[in-house]
Chain A
Amino acid sequence: DGGITQSPKYLFRKEGQNVTLSCEQNLNHDAMYWYRQDPGQGLRLIYYSQIVNDFQKGDIAEGYSVSREKKESFPLTVTSAQKNPTAFYLCASSTSTDSYEQYFGPGTRLTVT
């Protein structure tokens, strides 16, 4: 899991509530990413940030929001607009000096009922 931490490991929320997932890295990486993993599917990119105070939508950004106020932190908010939020969420970081090798955190499993 390298120097990337995600918290909490398990998260339970009621439908209609926003929830924020934490991701912190101490690898001094410029870029950070959020992915969603569902059974039988490959990882799908939600949002990514290549530099502080800047981020871009990935393939499935609807219903999610992010911020990048510090290099070390890239929190993801799952809003009530996300129609199917229950999933395993993975955060990653990378540096352009390492062939963009992405290092993943341990993940957060979110369950919304």
Chain B
Amino acid sequence: KNQVEQSPQSLIILEGKNCTLQCNYTVSPFSNLRWYKQDTGRGPVSLTIMTFSENTKSNGRYTATLDADTKQSSLHITASQLSDSASYICVVRGYNTDKLIFGTGTRLQVFP
């Protein structure tokens, strides 16, 4: 069964600190993996998208990594800000389909 699992479920950090969120998936064959940021009560917004041939991709303070062999991805947030408080969702698309498989997300809270 195609699944996407994220850890931790929730995370609390202090402003200015770094953190790393994890995503493991079993989707095969695999096309691409995306990380979305979702503020409370809003729609998800794309942060990064990576194909199986890409190992890392950055978007400002957000850096995503992908290991297609172990089917693992991580999202690293550098120098966190209060505005980083949100849910981060890992999403995988299988090969030759437009259907997406969503993880349950990691809820990040950044405190001053």
> Across the A-B interface, how many residue pairs have beta carbons closer than 8 Å?
53
Identify which of B45, B93, B103 contacts A104 (C-beta below 8 A). Answer: B45
Q: Main SS of chain A's interface residues?
A: strand
Q: Is A84 an interface residue (CB 8 A)?
A: no
- Tell whether, in the assembled complex, residue A42 and residue B102 are in contact, meaning their CB atoms are under 8 Å apart: yes
Q: Main SS of chain B's interface residues?
A: strand
Highest count of chain B CB atoms <10 Å: which of A6, A31, A102, A107: A102
Which residue of A is nearest B4, CB measured?
A42
Identify which of B34, B42, B98, B101 contacts A1 (C-beta below 8 A). Answer: B42
Could you give, for residues 7-46 of chain B, a 1 whenever the CB lies within 8 Å of some chain A CB and a 0 otherwise? 0000000000000000000000001101010000111111
- Tell whether, in the assembled complex, residue A106 and residue B43 are in contact, meaning their CB atoms are under 8 Å apart: yes
Q: Report how far A44 CA is from B31 CA in the complex, Å.
A: 19
Q: Is A76 an interface residue (CB 8 A)?
A: no
Q: Is B66 an interface residue (CB 8 A)?
A: no
Show the binding face of A for B, using Cβ within 8 Å. Answer: 1, 4, 6, 31, 40-45, 48, 50, 88, 90, 92, 94, 96, 99-107, 109
Taking A99-B32, A107-B42 as given, write out 4 further A-B residue pairs in contact, using a Cβ cutoff of 8 Å, ordered by the A residue number: A6-B43, A90-B44, A100-B93, A103-B46
